[in-house]
Chain A
Amino acid sequence: MFLHHPSNIDSQREAGVRRRVAVLVTIVFLAAVPSSALEIGENLFIHGFGGWAFAQTDENLYLIGDENGVWDNVQLSLNFTADIAPRARVVAQVAMTQEDELETDLDYAFGEWKFSDRARLRLGRVKHPFGIYAEIFDVGTLRPFYMLPQSIYGPQGITAKSVDGIGFLGILDSPTWSVSYDLYAGEIQGTLQVPGPFAADPDDRFQSEVVSDFEVEDVFGLRLEVSPPLAGLRFGLSAYTGEQTVVDVQQATTKQSYDVVGVHIGYEDEKWLARAEASRFDLGDDAFGADGAYAELAYHVTENWQLAVRWDWWQGDNSGLDLTQLPPFVNQLLENEDLGFAINYWFTPRFVVKLNYHVIKGNRFAFPDDPDEILRAFFTQQLEDETEMIVFGVQFSF
């Protein structure tokens, strides 16, 4: 245990004040964002989206919240589209996020050639077309909850923001039905967050969580989405296959197959929004596997007020794991069930304030913040497996 020196306390207080001022400035900025795109000349369009949230849990650390409350969940993305010829355009999106440190990422950047409405070719860092939300990962004005459902879109290796490679997409229309398709190939890179006891490096196994990048090579994937004549209804299938380089305990590297498949369905009208997805992930023949699913329902009580509920479930298999190398509470680490409730106030369709409450069971994403508690769990044989979290935030797009 370390004692804080008074000057350290002062500097921490100053940092805290600075952080709160930054948050307030951000909120003012968010409230003042333009309601439509910035258009430069005839052919360059700048759009953006972002948000800020305060999140607090009752005990465990859970994604954007902890026991003390996290104020600095701030994110802003800018999207640039340039029509450089009647059939050619360039699209790029830059994301800035802050969770302690300010980070900047290139979400995607690609060139596109349109052969016709039925066929377009993309090259570069293209969007990862998977399910309902992968292409619009952080766009909070397109969903009722501040956070995405973690079963499909959490940092667990199913979806990524982009694919480095090639994409081929288009729309096939009949007079009443419409089918959109996406084919892609290349390499996927994403974020993987694992509980400390699962960390590859033995030194990390008493950490609460370990965040790293994951990479899937030689990826081939597709998404098909069907829109039947009933306006607002759509359903589809997403799947990809690739290979991942895995390092075992003897530091030997092997390539293992990486297969993901998912289905989705959604309906939206002025009052109701209903969405559901399910997915299956397999690494190698039997190295690891997981199932995930969620269903969300939202209803606009008035034009501005919206109520929503979501059930979000993820379950990992332990059949391929060496249980002798893992702690006795391993099954808790392979489970996440999140029941969420939301009350949202939509000032406009592009500016919303959200109040969300989550009850989480399992420890796949909810860990003790203090490594000592993990150490203690090795003796008590269990972690605190229920976490409650409240999120208050604002999200916008323009």
Chain B
Amino acid sequence: MTSMFRWCLATVLLIALSVFSGVGQDAHGQREPAFRVIVHPSSTVESLPKKEVSRMFLKRRTQWPDGGQVTPVDLPESSDIRRQFSRTVHGRGVDIIANYWVREIFSGKRVPPKQLKNAAQVVEFVRDNEGAIGYVNPGAVTDEVKVLEVIE
């Protein structure tokens, strides 16, 4: 009986958590993305599926649809924006992605994207390199780069 009571309590708590986790969502129930994926302003690509964006940052897709070279840039592993990007786009935490890169490096397949120190450097890099793709917090986006829509 006590055990059943604990299970019920745990279930109630889980439901409560899932309800209150809705705080911060807008009127349509959509959570405001914590980051924007940005590309060079001359890019003809308007949107990409999340899986494709993930493959570009994992360097498993290295060409844009027009044939140009994809050049992804990352923020530091300690960055909150990178953590949210990793969780949202790759569906995995930063540590798992770090393991992926260790495997890729030492199996001689690919090296990780260039890592820049902050959002301002990412915007600058994307502005100056045609095939570049990066992600920054929404407040860091400027008119010098183009925001790419990431679709499910």
Contacts and interface: CB of A to CB of B under 8 A. Distances in A.
Contacts of B90: 231
Interface string B104-120: 01111101100100000
A178 B55 CA distance: 10
Interface string B16-58: 0000000000000000000000000000000001010001000
A136 B111 contact: no
Given A270-B93, A349-B98, A350-B98, A117 B108 contact: no
Contacts of B107: 127, 129, 135-136
A162 to B, nearest CB: 10
B49 A268 contact: no
B108 A91 contact: yes
Interface residues of A, number: 39
Contacts, number: 80
B102 A139 contact: yes
B95 A270 contact: yes
A173 B111 CA distance: 20
B79 interface: no
Most buried by A among B69, B96, B103, B107: B107
Given A268-B99, A270-B96, A397-B102, A173 B91 contact: no
A341 interface: no
19 contacts: A79-B105, A79-B106, A81-B108, A81-B111, A93-B106, A108-B108, A114-B62, A135-B108, A139-B103, A139-B106, A141-B102, A142-B103, A169-B109, A171-B60, A173-B60, A175-B49, A175-B51, A232-B92, A349-B98
Given A135-B108, A139-B106, 17 more contacts: A37-B111, A45-B111, A47-B111, A79-B105, A79-B106, A81-B105, A86-B69, A91-B108, A93-B106, A116-B63, A126-B108, A136-B106, A142-B102, A175-B51, A178-B60, A349-B98, A397-B102
